[in-house]
Amino acid sequence: MKKIITITFLLFSIISLHSQNIDSLLNIADRLYYDDDFEDAKKIYDKILILDVINVKALNGKGNCLFKQESDSAKTYYQNAINLDPNYSDSFYNLGLISYYKDRSYENALTSFKDAFKISPDSASYAVLIGMCYEKLQDTENAIFYYDKALETNPKELDAYYYKATLYYNLNELDLALENLKIAIKKRVNKSYFYTLKADIEIQNEHYEQAVIDCNKAIRINNQDVFAYEFRAEAYYMLTNYRKAIKDCEIILAKDSLNFVGIYLASLSYLGQENFKEAEYFVKKGLEINPYSSVFYQLYGTIYFYKRDYAKAKEFFEQSYSLDREDLKTIDYLNSSEILLKTDSTLIYSSNIFVSINIDNIEKMNENVKDKKNKYYYKKLLQRFQKNPEDLSLDEVFMLYYGHSQQKKFSGYTQTSKTDYRKKFAIGEYFDCIEVANDYLSDDPLLIEPYMYIAYSYLYMGNFEKYKEYSYIYNALLLAISMTGDGKTPEKAYIVISIADEYNMMYYLDFHYGGQHLMNIEGHQYDVFDVQDSNKHETNLYFFIDTFFGKFGKKFR
């Protein structure tokens, strides 16, 4: 009896030592794995499997090493572990990762993650991964369900808020995305990417100061987060703080000299400073990285446009347009370059304001549009315009526009009521919008707004050439008005012929309406608008309205 007890004790001791040895080896192998020493880790996992061929942890560990080394045999080890122990959730989880990140097989990943979650229903991270799979499979309802399930399982699994936010972000439901980020931030999340995503949304909502604050928080958490510097640079650029934007671009490019966003924002910011030499340097750098980038050709064109070399600008805009025929900004700049090239440079200052077409010369302008021998004679200009709008120089475009106000049947007030095409456009009836707008233009070819609606209708119908044709006229008319002054003072007020065109100019100049009042200054009538620019800086815009107000002045005073 004593002998049997002794043998049993020795057997248990051997098993215990054997078990302790395997546990010790597993700890060593795991440490090597986490130190990225995959070869040595694999050797130890192999030793464990010699001692214990059914050790699922060793099979899973070796699978992990092979996965990190991008070996397809990793799946075999995970599957072997599952076959030996169907309740070992880690291997289901790892199979899911391979399907999700490597194979991009989201249905297979979903199956594996769900199996893992059945075994470990208290794992919030598994629920998040299931939600991610559903999101990839465009099943929004189930994705949100599992993100919420993760938070129900573990309220501290704040990444669920992030993934919900990115889902709403991708659906362009920015308010819901922002709401989820704010909840996580209120719970004191300490991950920089929450703040960078929030900054991105704030920029889209034009809350640039808040975007800067969010980026500052992201950088305090992780000063290696390049996205935080990128979004902060963009926010500073939109705030016209070009110096700080450039400083952030320098940080970005110090971390990655080929960072496309950093190069692009640097070129934009130097352009904002009118430092054309540095702007051009970064544009060239951008084109070295990607010689087929339309945005850098667009920037090249913009540099020369600002330098008033319209021929060179047109070359670059044409190159940009050839690469991206859907880039509206390029098309608008190309139109403007073509228009300006047709205009005699002696008619304008270097700052692009007409020399002789302005408030001081209104009486002479009135004579010119009525003089049959004058090049600005209204009826001749109208005939040329109706035959080919692109045949007119910019000064001729304006004098046609102004001459229209001097015709007997013209009323700047009735123009404002001709807007039925807007309703058609709003409900997506683009063909009808074009038809209604063209009906108005057949009676009144100097209505400005219909040209924009026709252009955008053609755009949404996929006809970019027609978009370009009508946007050319729209740009020509508003560019011509913009060159009658700068709108900052009564002396430099823009000359318009209808109330509608005051609003057209505000839209064209990217101002937001704040209020309006009428002023009589030295016998002339002005509409003065309280406006905010795109950076919410308040200013005034002056419009000279004798052209239409004067005819009806007694009636409206």
Instruction: Find the range with the poorest average confidence among 56-60, 361-365, 408-412, 496-500.
Output: 408-412
Q: Angle 56-68/38-51 helices, nearest 10 degrees?
A: 160
- CA-CA distance, 379 to 402, in Å (whole number)? 12
Query: Which amino acid does the sequence have at 9?
Result: F
354: which strand partners?
348
Look up the pTM and report it: 0.78
pLDDT band for 157, please (50, 70, 90 cuts).
very high
Average the pLDDT over 451-477 and give the result.
95
Taking alpha carbons only, the member of 400, 342, 358 closest to residue 376 is 400
Residue 554 has pLDDT above 70, yes or no: no
CA 5 to chain centre: 78
526: which strand partners?
519, 544
Residue 179 has pLDDT above 60, yes or no: yes
Answer yes or no: are the C-beta atoms of 513 and 529 closer than 8 Å.
Answer: yes
Residue 245 has pLDDT above 80, yes or no: yes
Residue 13 has pLDDT above 50, yes or no: no
Residue 556 has pLDDT above 70, yes or no: no
pLDDT tens sequence across 35-81: 888 888 888 888 888 888 888 888 888 888 888 888 888 888 888 88
CA 134 to chain centre: 26
- Residue-level pLDDT at 20: 59
- CA-CA distance, 40 to 32, in Å (whole number)? 7
- CA-CA distance, 464 to 365, in Å (whole number)? 36
Domain ranges of the chain: 292-341, 356-556
Contacts for 314 with CB less than 8 Å, ≥ 6 apart: 301, 334, 337, 338, 341
- Residue-level pLDDT at 555: 32
Taking alpha carbons only, the member of 54, 103, 144 closest to residue 94 is 103
Average the pLDDT over 362-367 and give the result.
92
- Residue-level pLDDT at 5: 47
Which tokens go with 432? 């009808």
- Residue-level pLDDT at 548: 75
Alpha-helical (H) ranges within 205-293 are: 208-221, 226-238, 242-255, 260-272, 276-289
Residue 408 has pLDDT above 90, yes or no: no
Number of helices (H), then strands (E), belonging to the chain: the values are 29, 4
517: which strand partners?
528
Any idea what DSSP says for residue 519? Answer: E
Average the pLDDT over 476-498 and give the result.
94
pLDDT band for 2, please (50, 70, 90 cuts).
very low
> What is residue 446's three-state secondary structure?
coil
pLDDT tens sequence across 301-354: 999 999 989 999 999 999 999 999 889 999 999 999 999 998 887 887 767 789
Any idea what DSSP says for residue 539? Answer: E
Average the pLDDT over 122-137 and give the result.
95
Average the pLDDT over 510-529 and give the result.
90
Alpha-helical (H) ranges within 52-186 are: 56-68, 74-84, 89-97, 106-119, 124-136, 140-153, 159-170, 174-186
Residue 154 has pLDDT above 60, yes or no: yes
Residue 432 has pLDDT above 60, yes or no: yes
- CA-CA distance, 197 to 550, in Å (whole number)? 53
Mapping DSSP onto H, E and C, the string for 171-212 reads: CCCHHHHHHHHHHHHHCCCCCHHHHHHHHHHHHHCCCHHHHH
